[in-house]
Structure 1
Amino acid sequence: MAFGKPAAPARRFQPFDLLATLVAVVRADGRLLFANSALEDAMGTSRRTLEGSPFGACFLEPGVLATAIEGVRDNDFATLRYEAFLRRGAQEPLPVQVTLAQTDRKGEILIEMSPQEQQVRHDREERLLGLAQANKELIRNLAHEIKNPLGGIRGAAQLLQMEVQARDLIEYTQVIIHEADRLQTLVDRLLAPHRRPHVVGDVNIHEVIERVRSVLLAEFPHDLEIERDFDPSIPEFRGDREQLIQATLNIAHNAAQALAERREAGDAKITFRTRVVRKVILNKQWWRLALELHVIDNGPGVPDDIKDRIFYPLVSGRESGTGLGLTLAQTFVQQHHGVIECDSQPGRTDFKIVIPLP
C-alpha cells in the first residue's frame, strides 16, 4: 500500500500531460508536486528530478512566485496572473505568462505557464484566420460585382466591333475585349478556391514537394539549386493533394522569382525541409502531431513595407505580380486546418506551412 501512494498524484494529474501549455502543481510551501510533460520538455529536465524541490528556483525571480503562492493560498486572490522568466539550464530563460489558482484540494496550487512567443503565435493565427474569412467574403462580393458589368462591357465591345469599319477603331474595340478578358481571368482566379470542391485523399507530402520541384526545374533548369531536407518518418495524411501542390508551388515560385539577382550570380538556392512537431495548437485546436514544411530561400527577403500584408489579396512585392499567390496558398492550407507563417530577413526567407497530422 505504501509503495503505491506516491504514484497517486501522477495518475490524478495525468490529463495535464495532454496540454501544450506548461503546467505545475505545487504544495502550499511551494514545493513541486507534479510537472506535466510540456514543462519537462521546456526545461529539459525530468519531472522526477523536479518533484519535491522548491518550484520558485526554476524562475529568475523566485520571490515573486513565493508571494503569488502565498496570496492564492491565503485566498487573497482566486486567480493571479503575472509575467516571469523560466530557467532552462544552459538555454536562454523562457518568457512566460504565469497563472495561479487553487485546485479542488486544500493545500494544492495549480500553476499554468504560457510561453509568450506561443501566445504571440496564437494571436497571429487568430488574426490570419479572421483575415482569411474577411478576405473570402470581400473577394466573393467584389468578384460578383465585377463579373456582371464586365460581361456587358465585353458584349458591347463585340457588337461595336461588328459595326465599325475604320481599322483604328477596330483596334480600340479589340483592346476593350482583351482587357475585359484579362479582368475576367483575374476574377476567375479570385473565385477559384471557393468554387472548387475539396477533394480528399491520401497525401504524401514528399510527393507533393517532388511535383513542385519538377515544375521549378522545368522553368529554371540551370540557375537554381533546390535542396531537399526530408524527414522520412512523416506519415501520409488525408488532404487535397492538388490544393497542397498549388499552395507549395505558389510559395516556391515566388521565392524563385525573388532570387533573380542570385540566379544571375549563380548561387540561388531554395530548400524544402520537412519535420514533425508535437503538441501544437492550430486555430484554437490542440493536435498531438503536425507537419512542418519549410520553403527557404536565400533571396533579398520580403520588403518591409508589405511584411504585415503579404497574405492580403492583390498585395505583391513585384511590379508584374497579381498578389494572389500567397492569398490562395493560405486559403488552401487553412482548408486543411493549418496555417502559413513567414520569417524573412535579407538573405533568408522561410515560409512555414503547418498542417495537423492524424
Structure 2
Amino acid sequence: MSNNVVNLKEIKKHYQQALPNQMVTAVVVLDDELNICYVNPAAEALLVKSLSKLYRLPIEQVFYNTPINNARLRQLLTTGQEFSDSDVTIEFFDQRKITVEITASSVTFDQYPHILLEFKQIDHQKHISAEAFQQQQWESARDLIRGLAHEIKNPLGGLRGAAQLLDLELNVEQKEYTAMIIEQADRLTNLVDRLLGPNQLPVMKLQNIHIVIEKVFQLTKFDNPKNITLARDYDPSIPELTFDQDKIQQTVINIVHNAIQALDGASKITLRTRAASNKTINGKRIKLCAEISIIDNGPGIPEHIQSTLFYPMVSGRASGTGLGLSICQTIIHQHHGKLSCISRPGHTEFTILIPFDSEIK
C-alpha cells in the first residue's frame, strides 16, 4: 500500500514538472513586483524571446498595448480574485499584434505571491472563421450579381434589336439617335458580361508556375511608366501543377496593375513563389500547394473595404469598377484555390494558393 502511495507521489511530481513545458498554452509567471520570473516554451514562441532575455523584465516592457495593465494585476495580487478575458488584442513594441484569450490567477511559489498568466492564441481560428464567412458572403454576392446581370442582359438584347430595326426606317440625320442607343446597349452588355465573370471553363495543363510569373514580370517591366522597382523571389523547387496559363496570368497581372496604380515611383513590387504546407482552403486542410505572393510597400488598402475586397462592385479607387478582383477570385476558385489579402500601411500582400493535383479530390 505504501509503495503505491510513493509511486503516485512520484508520478504526480513527474507530470507537474513536465507538463508546463509541453503545454500549447503560453504560461507566464510574474513575481509580486510584476517582473517575469518564468515563461514556458509556448510563451517563448508567442513572445519571440527566450526566458534568458525575459527574466526579471517588467511586464510593461514586453507589451506595448494590452488591457492587462499593472493596476489590474496588482489588484489580483491583493484580492486573489482571478479573471479571464477573451478576444484580447495584444500589441508588441515591434508593432506585431496577436489575438488571445487570457486567464490571470494568483499562485504561491516559495511562500511568496505570484501571478500566473495563461495566453491562448486564437488568431488562426478567427482567421479561418472570417475566411469562411467571407467566402459565403462572396458566393452570395456573386450569385446575386449574376442573377441581376441575366435579368438586365435579356431586355438589353431586345432593346438593341429594336434600335437596329428602327434604324432601317430613319433618315441619315435621325440615325445618330439609334446609333447612340446601340452603342450604349453594347457598352452595358459588355459590363454585364464582366459582371457574369469568366464565361469559359479553364483549360487545365500540367506546367511550371514560373512560366506565368516570369511573363508577368517581363510585361510589367516593359510597361512601367512610374519606374517602380520590380523584384523576383522564386522557389525553383516547386513542382509542376495543373492550371490555365492565360487565366492565372490574367489574375496576377490584374493584381500587379492594381498595385502600380496605388504606388509611386519610390515603391517596390515583389513577385514571390513558395511551396506551402498545411493550408486551409475553403474549409479543407491542404497538405501541399503552390503559393504565389504579390507584395508591395505602398500605402495599403483602406481598412473599411478589406473584408469585402473581392466582392463585385467594391473598389478602393474612384475610377475603379470593382470587377477585377471579383473575377480574379472566381478564376482562383475554378482552380480549387484561394485568393486572399493582408494589408497595412507599408505592406500589402495578395496571396494565391493553388493545390497540387494530389490534393484535389
Q: Pick which of 214-223 and 124-133 moved more.
A: 214-223
Please name the residue that 1:352 is paired with. 351
2:73: which partner in 1? none
Which residue, 152, 155, 160 being the options, matches 1:154? 160
In the alignment of these two chains, the number of paired residues is 273
Matched, 1:232 2:188: no
Amino acid of the structure 1 residue aligned with 2:346: G
Verify: 1:199 aligned to 2:198, yes or no. Answer: no
User: Structure 1 residues 55 and 218, CA, compared in 2 at 3 Å: closer, same or farther?
Assistant: closer
8 Å contact kept, 1:312–1:327: yes
Q: Of the candidates 133, 136, 153, which is equivalent to residue 130 of structure 1?
A: 136
Which structure 1 residue ranges, 5 or more long, are not aligned? 1-26, 33-49, 63-84, 99-112
- Partner of 2:85 in structure 1? none
- Cα deviations by residue, 1:315-337 (Å, 9 ceiling, x for unpaired): 12223322111001111112222
Q: 1:182 to 1:292 in 2, by over 3 A?
A: same
CA distance in 2, matches of 1:272, 1:30: 51
1:340 is the counterpart of 2:339: yes
Name the CA distance, whole Å, in 1 between partners of 2:170 and 2:201.
Answer: 44
SS in 2 for 1:173: helix
User: How far apart are the structure 2 equivalents of 1:151 and 1:290?
Assistant: 43
The structure-2 alpha-carbon separation of the partners of 1:51 and 1:332, relative to structure 1 and needing over 3 Å to count, comes to farther
| TM-score normalized with structure 1 length | 0.67
Deviation digits for residues 250-270 of structure 1 (CA, Å, limit 9, x no counterpart): 1111112222xx1xxx32421
**CA 1:58/1:125 → structure 2, altered by over 3 Å: closer, same or farther?**
closer
Secondary structure of 2:272 counterpart = strand
Q: What is the deviation of 1:248?
A: 1.2
Q: Is the 8 A contact 1:268 1:299 kept in 2?
A: yes
Larger Rg: 2
Q: After the TM superposition, which residues 18-97 of structure 1 pair with which residues of structure 2 at under 5 Å, given as runs?
A: 31=15, 55=22, 59-60=26-27, 86-89=42-45, 91=48
Q: 1:51 to 1:231 in 2, by over 3 A?
A: farther
* Counterpart in the other structure of 1:317: 316
**Aligned residue number for residue 126 of structure 2:** 120
Query: TM-score, length-normalised on structure 2?
Result: 0.66
Identity of aligned residues (%): 42
The Cα offsets for residues 120-170 of structure 1, whole Å up to 9 and x where unpaired, read as: 221122123213322342233122111111011112222333333363x43
CA shift, 1:207, in A, is: 1.1
- The answer as to whether partners of 1:58 and 1:86 remain within 8 angstroms in 2 is yes
- Distance apart, 1:345 and its partner CA: 2.3
Report the Cα offset of residue 51 of structure 1. 6.5
